[in-house]
């Protein structure tokens, strides 16, 4: 049986993961409007991945006899200044998610919830990858600067991301 403390913290994390999906969908819409379909695709795939993360928590809570409580999602931003600004926000957002996962892990340790600690190890490793991916794209966007050809080449590359 899952403790109420861990259950409540995981319900909060479900909200954060679903907000992440919503945020990435908003970013995808921005890129679609900017005719950068590869960037839009990358963000859609990212959003779908965040929904899957939310469902991992959802299933874990139910598997442990807990109760899932869904809360309202905040509205994500819709206006962005540039591709690099979008990915800088994505990178900062992933850093916030990482901090949240770490806090959740600390809660599981305090509650001596060993199954939760094991499950959260997957998320800890996943966040290393999430930050790395977003950070690398930020660095590459900064390198290409205002060169449209390089931006379109990167757009083409991001269109190849599997997952949709």
pLDDT digits (tens, 9 = 90+) for 87-143: 999 999 999 999 999 999 999 999 999 999 999 999 999 999 999 999 999 999 999
How many domains does the chain fold into? 1
Residue 164 lies in a domain: no
In a domain, 163, yes or no: no
- Per-residue tokens: 105: 């892990």
The C-alpha atoms of residue 141 and residue 55 are separated, in whole angstroms, by 32
* Structural domain for 91, as ranges: 4-158
**Is 36 within the bounds of a domain?**
yes
Report the CATH number that the domain containing residue 148 is assigned in CATH: 1.20.1260.10
* Total-model pTM: 0.94
Q: Are the C-beta atoms of 57 and 69 separated by less than 8 Å?
A: no
- Give residue-wise pLDDT tens across range 125-139: 999 999 999 999 999
CA distances from 33 to 9, 27, 40, 144 (A): 36, 10, 9, 21
How far is C-alpha 138 from the geometric centre of its chain's CA atoms?
A: 16
Does 105 fall in a domain? yes
Q: Classify each residue of 56-71 as buried b or exposed e, where b means 16 or more C-beta atoms within 10 Å of its C-beta.
A: bbbebbeebebeeeee
Residue 115, domain member (yes or no): yes
**Helix extents (H) in the chain:** 4-33, 37-63, 83-110, 114-144, 148-158
């Amino acid at each position: 049986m899952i403790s109420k403390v861990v259950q409540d913290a995981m319900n909060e994390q479900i909200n954060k993961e679903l907000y992440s999906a919503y945020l990435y969908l908003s970013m995808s819409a921005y890129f679609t409007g900017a005719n950068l379909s590869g960037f839009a695709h990358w963000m859609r795939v990212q959003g779908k991945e965040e929904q899957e993360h939310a469902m991992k928590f959802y299933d874990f809570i139910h598997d442990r006899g807990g109760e899932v409580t869904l809360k309202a999602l905040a509205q994500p931003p819709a206006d962005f200044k540039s591709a690099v600004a979008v990915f800088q926000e994505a990178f900062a957002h992933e850093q916030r998610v990482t901090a949240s996962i770490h806090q959740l892990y600390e809660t599981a340790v305090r509650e001596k919830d060993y199954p939760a600690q094991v499950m959260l190890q997957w998320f800890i490793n996943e966040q290393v990858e999430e930050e790395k991916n977003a950070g690398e794209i930020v660095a590459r966007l900064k390198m290409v600067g205002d060169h449209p050809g390089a931006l379109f080449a990167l757009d083409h590359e991001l269109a190849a991301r599997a997952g949709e």
